[in-house]
């Protein structure tokens, strides 16, 4: 890295963004202010001297018109000493041998002789005469002489000095104002960023995702980029808070729900530890109960893990066709529940029904619905699964769901009074709805006409 870039990098690291923005804005405005002042100064100076030079040219022409070319060289007019007679002129021959006895007023140089000989072009000079600023014009005259005309340049010089002073003051004020402006721009422009930073820092320090960034009032859609960033930051915080709360509730629910089966497990295990004091029947019953409870707890823990996993970012979605997926699930259920007759009806226009999703999760959803229907069906009554473009329905002829239970069946660990005798932990429907929502689909429960429960999965769109 070059030394300059390293210096730049260190500068960026040390200064906060606000200072850098203030300095950059101020520098840009200051540069323009100073540039304009310098340009104005140059124009004023040029104009003042141009006027002076025009006067000198006119005087030289006048001398050429009014005088005889045979005149002796030497001083023509004036002294250039007093403001009352600010002009003076002299004629200089090409050859120094022809110089008059009296001294010249204005300085004569080799270049003057060259102009007299016609070898050089006329020119202007700025010089100091009798301690005063003077402007002089040297041009060809007659048959081999040069005429030099001079004018005191006090007024032009004073004008230039005054312009310099005034423009310096204006430029200085401009630089000062640009500094203030830069500071103001960076303060107001970066205020939302400062709020965002403060909130992010507060969250990092307190680990509390309930904080939000204050947004300026105004209609949505008309915000600037920083406000939009703050709004999406707030949205992200809301999601984070929701997910943290959900995880916390899941852990709380799980630990609460696991306590009962674990206590029963421990009781049975302690009972079996004193197996020598039990009769054979007692021992068998205890070990049977232990095995069943172990299965239940294992199932519950597996479901919990699945529920928790569903809140992680989804793996890549693929286009899932529902008809083959449902057929596969129903086939598997037939193996599981041999005493339950399953019917599957797919309307022709639903054969190609598909939406983006994760196949394994969707089969889990359908399996949970079909398993419930089979579990709650009296033996021999059918479970009807049908797929149409409107969605999937799973219907059984069991006891159905009581109206007071309907709002709760999708809650974690919720089991209706009548269902408590059957195996299960109350996680199946919670998981099913979670999967449905993750896919943008809707899952609802209702009482089927003529008795039994009816679950309806409506695909997204």
Query: Residues interacting with Mg ion, by CB under 5 A?
Result: 372, 428
Distances (CA, A) of 87 to 109, 132, 241: 20, 12, 90
Choose one: 104-112, 126-134, 342-350, 412-420; the region binding ligand ATP (CB under 6 A).
412-420
- Contact between 73 and 95 under an 8 Å Cβ cutoff? The reply is no
Q: d(Cα 88, Cα 127) in Å, to the nearest integer?
A: 14
Q: Does 112 bind ligand ATP (CB under 6 A)?
A: no
Query: Which one of 42-50, 180-188, 242-250, 422-430 is the stretch in contact with ligand ATP (CB under 6 A)?
Result: 422-430
Q: Which residue has the tokens 């963004």?
A: 17
Closest contact distance (angstroms) between CB of 189 and ligand ATP is 54
Residue 416 interacting with ligand ATP (CB under 6 A): yes
- For residues 434 to 453, the per-residue mask of contacts with ligand ATP, x marking binding by CB under 6 A and - elsewhere, is -------------------x
Which option in Mg ion, ligand ATP, none does residue 398 bind, with CB closer than 5 to 8 A by kind?
A: ligand ATP
The correct pick among 196, 290, 409, 436 for binding ligand ATP (CB under 6 A) is 409
By CB under 6 A, residue 254 contacts ligand ATP: no
Alpha helices in 16-104 (DSSP H): 17-66
β partners of residue 454: 395, 446
Report what 186 binds from ligand ATP, Mg ion, none; CB cut-off 5-8 Å by kind: none
What residues does 320 pair with on adjacent strands? 355
Q: How far is the CB of 255 from ligand ATP (least distance, A)?
A: 17
Residues 363, 404 contacting (CB under 8 angstroms)? no
Supply 79's token pair. Answer: 């002294």
Binding flag, residue 401, ligand ATP (CB under 6 A) = yes
For the record, the structure tokens of 121 come out as 């072009």
- 255 SS3 class: helix
Which residue, 63 or 374, is less far from Mg ion as judged by CB? Answer: 374
We find the least distance from the C-beta atom of residue 336 to ligand ATP, in angstroms, to be 13
User: Does residue 372 belong to the site contacting ligand ATP (CB under 6 A)?
Assistant: yes
Q: Does 337 bind ligand ATP (CB under 6 A)?
A: no
Q: How far is the CB of 372 from Mg ion (least distance, A)?
A: 4
Of the pair 223, 405, the CB lying nearest ligand ATP is at 405
453 class by beta-carbon count within 10 Å (0-12 exposed, 13-18 middle, 19+ buried): buried
Give the residue, chosen from 373, 436, 448, 457, that forms a contact with ligand ATP under the rule CB under 6 A. 373
The piece of 21-29, 63-71, 210-218, 414-422 that touches ligand ATP (CB under 6 A) is: 414-422
Exposed (0-12), middle (13-18) or buried (19+): which is 84, by Cβ within 10 Å?
A: exposed
DSSP 449: T
Q: How far apart are CA 287 and CA 59, in angstroms?
A: 132
- Is residue 425 involved in binding ligand ATP (CB under 6 A)? yes
Q: Closest Cα partner for 76 from 58, 91, 96?
A: 91
Token pair for 390: 């409107």
Is 424 a residue that touches ligand ATP (CB under 6 A)? yes
Cβ atoms 303, 253 nearer than 8 A: no
Minimum distance from residue 212 beta carbon to ligand ATP (Å): 35
- Minimum CB distance to ligand ATP, residue 296 (Å): 9
* R_g over Cα of the chain: 50
Place of tokens 């069991």: 398
In a 3-state reduction of DSSP, which class is residue 427? coil
Q: Does 414 bind ligand ATP (CB under 6 A)?
A: yes
Nearest distance, CB of residue 421 and ligand ATP, angstroms:
10
Measured from the CB atom, the residue of 30 and 445 that comes closer to ligand ATP is 445
**Residue 384 makes contact with ligand ATP by CB under 6 A:** no
Residue 401 binds which entry of ligand ATP, Mg ion, none, with Cβ cut-offs from 5 to 8 Å by kind?
A: ligand ATP
Largest CA distance in the chain: 159
Q: Which residue is nearest to ligand ATP (CB)?
A: 428
Which of the 8 DSSP states describes residue 429? H
Helical ranges in 337-407 per DSSP H:
359-376
**Residue 253 binds to ligand ATP (criterion: CB under 6 A):** no
Candidates 59-67, 148-156, 312-320, 417-425 — which segment interacts with ligand ATP by CB under 6 A? Answer: 417-425
3-class secondary structure, 215:
coil
Interface positions with ligand ATP (CB under 6 A): 303, 368, 372-373, 376, 396, 398-401, 409, 414-416, 419, 424-430, 453
């Amino acid at each position: 890295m070059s030394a300059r870039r390293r210096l730049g990098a260190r500068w960026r690291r040390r200064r906060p963004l606000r200072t850098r923005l203030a300095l950059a804005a101020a520098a840009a405005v200051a540069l323009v202010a100073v540039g304009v002042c310098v340009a104005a100064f140059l124009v004023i100076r040029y104009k003042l001297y141009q006027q002076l030079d025009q006067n000198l040219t006119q005087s030289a022409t006048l001398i050429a018109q009014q005088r005889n070319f045979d005149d002796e060289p030497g001083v023509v007019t004036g002294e250039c000493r007093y403001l009352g007679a600010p002009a003076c002129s002299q004629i200089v021959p090409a050859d120094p041998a022809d110089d008059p006895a009296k001294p010249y007023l204005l300085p004569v140089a080799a270049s003057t002789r060259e102009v007299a000989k016609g070898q050089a072009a006329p020119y202007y000079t700025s010089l100091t005469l009798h301690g005063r600023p003077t402007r002089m014009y040297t041009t060809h005259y007659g048959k081999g002489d040069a005429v030099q005309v001079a004018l005191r340049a006090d007024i032009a010089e004073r004008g230039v000095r005054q312009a310099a002073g005034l423009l310096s003051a204006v430029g200085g004020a401009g630089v000062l104002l640009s500094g203030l402006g830069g500071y103001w721009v960076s303060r107001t422009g970066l205020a939302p960023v400062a709020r965002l930073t403060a909130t992010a820092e507060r969250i990092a320090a307190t680990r509390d995702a309930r904080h939000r960034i204050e947004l300026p009032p105004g209609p949505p859609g008309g915000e600037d980029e920083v406000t939009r960033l703050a709004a999406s930051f707030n949205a992200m915080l809301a999601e984070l808070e929701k997910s943290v709360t959900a995880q916390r509730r899941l852990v709380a629910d799980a630990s609460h729900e696991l306590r009962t089966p674990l206590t029963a497990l421990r009781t049975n295990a302690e009972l079996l530890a004193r197996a020598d004091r039990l009769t054979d029947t007692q021992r068998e019953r205890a070990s049977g109960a232990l095995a069943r409870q172990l299965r239940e707890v294992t199932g519950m823990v597996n479901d919990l893990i699945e529920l928790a996993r569903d809140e992680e970012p989804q793996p890549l979605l693929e286009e899932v066709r529902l008809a083959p997926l449902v057929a596969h699930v129903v086939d598997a259920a037939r193996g599981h529940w041999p005493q339950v007759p399953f019917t599957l009806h797919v309307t022709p226009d639903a054969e190609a029904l598909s939406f983006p999703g994760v196949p394994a999760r969707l089969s889990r959803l359908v399996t949970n619905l079909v398993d419930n229907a089979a579990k709650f069906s009296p033996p021999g009554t059918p479970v009807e699964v049908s797929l149409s473009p409107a969605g999937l329905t799973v219907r059984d002829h069991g006891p159905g769901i009581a109206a007071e239970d309907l709002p709760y069946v999708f809650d974690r660990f919720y089991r209706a009074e009548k269902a408590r005798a059957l195996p299960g932990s109350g996680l199946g429907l919670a998981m099913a709805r979670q999967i449905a929502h993750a896919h943008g689909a809707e899952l609802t429960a209702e009482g089927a006409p003529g008795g039994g429960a009816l679950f309806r999965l409506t695909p997204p769109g």
